[in-house]
């Protein structure tokens, strides 16, 4: 069997097998500042940076837009002063100012994006920042080579349907523009993994096409995914 990120899946505090993939990636490319930024963390106990924060002595920033979830997040990480928390509803227009106000370094180790909506647009807005690894949710209801990005709406709120985020093909295209290579997706079809292209050799994982990296959805009631909904989206 060829070496793929899925061989290393392990769930400790992540939603799926992301903890193991992230751990393996950094065992290969090393860490620099052991700093992360993750948004869409809910209470912070089931997300891609919780394991790093609680067991690996990473520092970073967790951002959550829901007020009730944020109060739980703040309480859960009160005893971890290296982890900053912020209550913000993220848009492509405010994300850079949030990063600047929270003193996020231009180069850091891990960025994780899961806001069930404008994920593509927010990553695009962060072009001046150069995280070494990016984990971003993709919409597996649109398999390659389909291109789909939700029409930008600063007030977007996910309604539980298939109308959210962006397809893997669209995210892969954006990643290339930003200097990143797609190296895989988790087996349940939730998160995609990108590495800065200057680190692809050190990672010893091959850059993959969306077709090679894709996993179909296996988390919901409708063809493995969420109930279908047509909505205004762009084919980019």
Give the model confidence (pLDDT) of 137-184 as tens digits.
Answer: 999 999 999 999 999 999 999 999 999 999 999 999 999 999 999 999
Long-range Cβ contacts of 63-72 (<8 Å, 24+ apart): 63/37, 63/38, 63/39, 63/87, 63/88, 63/90, 63/98, 64/39, 64/40, 64/88, 65/39, 65/40, 65/89, 65/90, 65/115, 66/42, 69/41, 69/42, 69/43, 72/42, 72/43, 72/44
pLDDT attached to residue 93: 97
Q: What is the pLDDT confidence band of residue 221, given thresholds at 50, 70 and 90?
A: confident
Distances in Å between the Cα of 159 and the Cα atoms of 53, 108, 182, 199 are 30, 33, 28, 37
pLDDT attached to residue 222: 86
Residue showing tokens 């193991």: 20
pLDDT attached to residue 2: 74
Q: What does the pLDDT look like over 171-207, one tens digit per residue?
A: 999 999 999 999 999 999 999 999 999 999 999 999 9
Distances in Å between the Cα of 132 and the Cα atoms of 142, 164, 196 are 27, 25, 5
Average pLDDT, the chain: 97
pLDDT attached to residue 35: 98
- Indicate if the pLDDT at residue 55 is higher than 80: yes
- Indicate if the pLDDT at residue 23 is higher than 90: yes
pLDDT attached to residue 65: 95
Q: What ranges make up the beta strands (E) of the chain?
A: 35-39, 59-64, 83-87, 110-113, 133-137, 149-150, 180-185, 191-196, 233-234
- Indicate if the pLDDT at residue 119 is higher than 80: yes
pLDDT attached to residue 1: 45
**Assigned CATH for 5-234:** 3.40.50.150
This prediction has a pTM of 0.97
- Indicate if the pLDDT at residue 47 is higher than 60: yes
- Indicate if the pLDDT at residue 123 is higher than 60: yes
């Amino acid at each position: 069997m060829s070496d793929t990120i899925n061989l290393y899946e392990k769930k400790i505090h992540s939603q799926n097998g992301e903890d193991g993939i992230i751990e393996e990636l950094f065992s290969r490319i090393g860490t620099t500042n052991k700093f992360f930024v993750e948004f869409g963390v809910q209470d912070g106990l089931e997300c891609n940076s919780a394991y790093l924060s609680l067991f690996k002595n990473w520092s970073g920033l967790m951002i959550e837009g829901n007020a009730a979830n944020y109060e739980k997040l703040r309480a859960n990480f009160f005893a971890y002063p290296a982890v900053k928390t912020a209550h913000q509803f993220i848009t492509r227009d405010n994300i850079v100012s949030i990063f600047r106000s929270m003193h996020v370094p231009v180069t850091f180790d891990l960025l994780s994006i899961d806001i069930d909506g404008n994920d593509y647009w927010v990553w695009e807005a962060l072009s001046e920042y150069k995280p070494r690894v990016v984990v971003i949710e993709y919409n597996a209801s649109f398999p390659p080579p389909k291109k789909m990005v939700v029409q930008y709406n600063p007030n977007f709120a996910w309604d539980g349907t298939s109308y959210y985020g962006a397809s893997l093909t669209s995210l892969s295209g954006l990643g290339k523009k930003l200097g990143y290579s797609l190296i895989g997706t988790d087996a349940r079809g939730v998160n995609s993994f990108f590495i800065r292209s200057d680190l692809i050799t050190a990672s010893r994982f091959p850059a993959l096409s969306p077709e090679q990296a894709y996993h179909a959805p296996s988390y919901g009631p409708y063809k493995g995914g969420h109930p279908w909904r047509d909505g205004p989206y762009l084919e980019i």
